[in-house]
Structure 1
Amino acid sequence: MIRLLLADDQALVRGALSALLSLEPDFEVVAEVSSGSDVVRSVLEHRPDVALLDVEMPGLDGISAAAEVRRAAPRTRVLIVTTFGRPGFLRRAIQSGASGFVVKDTPAAQLADAVRRVHQGLRVVDPALAMDSLTVGDSPLTERETDVLRAAATGASVATIAERVSLSPGTVRNHLSAAIGKTGAANRSQAVQIATANGWL
């Protein structure tokens, strides 16, 4: 049996995935969690063969959780299953140690096949997304620019952003200006939209 852990903050989606995968004769869902922060603890407790993680979850996002799983339990393979099929997410997920990346509208038979292939040590990536990822490339933003732009996504003032990221308002303005230039945006709101669409935030 291939032991599975499911992590998704939407109970309905998590339940549907569990029901769907449990129909497979060689799958056993051994754990379900709703927060990225609970993933590693649950992996260490239940020792699944494959952890299926959503990207956007409370506490810890799925990509960060994937990196923690690879460090804490290297025998557990990670398959990202997400609504957000963004090229930047794919790149970051693979860099974090995930073995696969598929979107939630993947047909059930293909999802089951992806789980089996990941369990065998193979890499599984949505082909259309892989092509987009090659076209888009890596994020042009530095780590600090990413932090500042992520904080700006809430529409906060420069002073509030500065407080959140522990920088001076002048430095925040410089980082925002650099991020706007690197994304080819007209303003910081558009820079946030472009970076989000590409999965850089």
Structure 2
Amino acid sequence: METIKRIVVAEDQQLLRGALTALLQLEDDMCVVGETDNGIEGLEMITALTPDICVLDIEMPRMSGLEVAEQIRKNKLPTKIIIVTTFMKQGYVKKAMDTNVDGYLLKDEPIDVLVQAIRQVAKGSKYVSQDMTASLFAREENPLTSREQDVLRNVKLGYSTTDIAKQLYLSKGTVRNYLSSSMQKLGTTSRHQACLVAEEKGWMD
């Protein structure tokens, strides 16, 4: 008989979390030892219970799945990580791959795919949803300079041109130039659109 795989599920949608837990418990070689609706509790459970595998929603209250994954790696916990998401944003994919997660699945996959992924990951392999494979090989080169990224990060925080100039010790004219070049490179007509595009593509890290 196969070794029982101990699993923690962190998913903020109660209905989905309950369904995942119930279905995984039906598998002879799986046991859900903890479940929660937020990242902070998820990390606490993973630290205390050291499950074989954790299934993390990418967007959760208090701490995202990717932030939990980063802490697992930082603290050198032995738990393998599977991220589940409804989003196929390149920025998310890039961060997940940079964090070296073990699996990355879309939520609309059948439960059989998650079960297969858990078994595959438990054996030391990686698992990525087939629909997401193209995103892994379509990672575009970041066209923004480090200064343009700094300016857009401040736009994200809601700062005005004057505020950004003070924050970065630049003239207002220089800030406007950086914003203009960023918008041109990203094909947008506003600083806020440029910020959204850069964030989605993972170009403000």
Cα 1:21–1:189 shift into 2, 3 Å: same
How far has the Cα of 1:192 moved from its partner?
3.5
**1:125 and 2:128 correspond:** yes
Partner of 2:160: 158
Cα 1:35–1:126 shift into 2, 3 Å: same
How far has the Cα of 1:31 moved from its partner?
1.0
Q: Secondary structure at the match of 1:136?
A: coil
Q: Is the 8 A contact 1:152 1:161 kept in 2?
A: no
Larger mean CA deviation between 169-178 and 3-12 belongs to 169-178
Q: Is the 8 A contact 1:161 1:172 kept in 2?
A: no
**1:187 and 2:187 correspond:** no
Distance in 2, Cα, partners of 1:14 & 1:161: 43
Q: Which amino acid aligns with 1:81?
A: V
Out of 112, 116, 122, the residue aligned to residue 113 of structure 1 is 116
Out of 75, 95, 101, the residue aligned to residue 78 of structure 2 is 75
Q: CA RMSD in A?
A: 3.0
Partner of 2:100: 97
Cα 1:194–1:18 shift into 2, 3 Å: same
Cα 1:197–1:119 shift into 2, 3 Å: same
Could you tell me which runs of 5 or more consecutive residues in structure 1 were left unpaired when the two chains were aligned: none
Residues 5-24 of structure 1 correspond to what in structure 2 (within 5 A)? 5-24=8-27
Q: Secondary structure at the match of 2:138?
A: helix
Distance in 1, Cα, partners of 2:108 & 2:20: 11
Deviation track 1:2-51 (CA, whole Å, cap 9, x = no partner) reads 01111122222211211221121111111112222233221111111001
Out of 39, 49, 52, the residue aligned to residue 49 of structure 1 is 52
Q: Is the 8 A contact 2:38 2:63 kept in 1?
A: yes
Cα 1:80–1:20 shift into 2, 3 Å: same
State the TM-score, normalized to the length of structure 2. 0.79
Cα 1:159–1:44 shift into 2, 3 Å: same
Distance in 2, Cα, partners of 1:7 & 1:75: 17
Q: Which amino acid aligns with 1:105?
A: D
Cα 1:26–1:161 shift into 2, 3 Å: farther
Q: Is the 8 A contact 2:161 2:176 kept in 1?
A: no
Q: Is the 8 A contact 1:44 1:73 kept in 2?
A: no
Deviation track 1:38-77 (CA, whole Å, cap 9, x = no partner) reads 3322111111100111111222221121111123243100
Partner of 1:58: 61
How far has the Cα of 1:194 moved from its partner?
2.5
Q: Is the 8 A contact 1:52 1:78 kept in 2?
A: yes
Q: Secondary structure at the match of 1:106?
A: coil
State the TM-score, normalized to the length of structure 1. 0.81
Distance in 1, Cα, partners of 2:67 & 2:37: 15
Distance in 2, Cα, partners of 1:67 & 1:144: 26
Could you tell me which runs of 5 or more consecutive residues in structure 2 were left unpaired when the two chains were aligned: none
Q: Which amino acid aligns with 1:112?
A: V
Distance in 1, Cα, partners of 2:34 & 2:111: 20
How far has the Cα of 1:158 moved from its partner?
1.6
- Identical aligned residues as a percent: 37
Distance in 2, Cα, partners of 1:96 & 1:44: 18
